[in-house]
Amino acid sequence: MPSVTRTTTSPAQSWADDLCHPLPLAAVLVLAVNDHLLKGSDLLPGWLTGKLSDVAGLFFFPLLLGALARGAARIGARRDIEDRSSLAMAAVLATGAVFTVVKLHAPFNAWVAGVWGVMVMDVTDLFTLPVLGLSAAFMERSRAQREGFAPARRFLDFGAVIAAALASAATSAPPPEVPPQPPPSAPAVEVAAPAPVACGSLALSVCERSETGTFVVIEASGGGCDVEILRAEEISPMGGTPADALPARVRVEDRGPSTFSLSFLRAVDPGTQTHNVDVALEVRRVSGEVSHTDVEKLTRPCTAR
Domains and CATH numbers, the chain: 4-169 (no CATH), 201-304 (2.60.40)
Query: What was the pLDDT predicted at 149?
Result: 43
SS3 116: coil
Residue 25 has pLDDT above 70, yes or no: yes
Q: What is the pTM of this model?
A: 0.58
Rounded distance between C-alpha atoms, residue 201 and residue 209, angstroms: 24
Rounded distance between C-alpha atoms, residue 295 and residue 286, angstroms: 15
pLDDT tens per residue across span 241-296: 899 888 888 888 877 788 888 999 888 888 888 889 999 999 998 888 888 888 99
Q: Span 61-69, mean pLDDT?
A: 86
Query: What was the pLDDT predicted at 232?
Result: 92
Long-range CB contacts (< 8 A, 24+ apart) of 203-208? 203/298, 204/277, 204/279, 204/298, 204/299, 204/300, 205/259, 205/300, 206/113, 206/118, 206/174, 207/277, 207/300, 207/301, 207/302, 207/303, 208/118, 208/120, 208/172, 208/302, 208/303, 208/304, 208/305
Q: Span 27-52, mean pLDDT?
A: 80
Query: What was the pLDDT predicted at 185?
Result: 55
Query: What was the pLDDT predicted at 3?
Result: 52
Query: What was the pLDDT predicted at 4?
Result: 47
Query: What was the pLDDT predicted at 191?
Result: 45
Rounded distance between C-alpha atoms, residue 13 and residue 18, angstroms: 10
256 φ/ψ sector (left φ>0, alpha ψ -120 to 50, else beta)? left
SS3 80: strand
Query: What was the pLDDT predicted at 145?
Result: 53
pLDDT tens per residue across span 134-185: 988 988 875 545 554 444 456 666 677 787 777 767 554 444 444 555 555 5
Query: What was the pLDDT predicted at 43?
Result: 80
- Among 68-82, 110-124, 276-290, top mean pLDDT goes to 276-290
Query: What was the pLDDT predicted at 269?
Result: 85
Backbone angles phi, psi at 163, to 5 degrees: -65, -40
201-210 vs 303-304, strand pairing mode: parallel
Where would I find the beta strands (DSSP E) of 32-120? 80-81
Query: What was the pLDDT predicted at 11?
Result: 43
Q: 79 or 88: which carries more pLDDT confidence?
A: 88
Q: Span 32-51, mean pLDDT?
A: 79
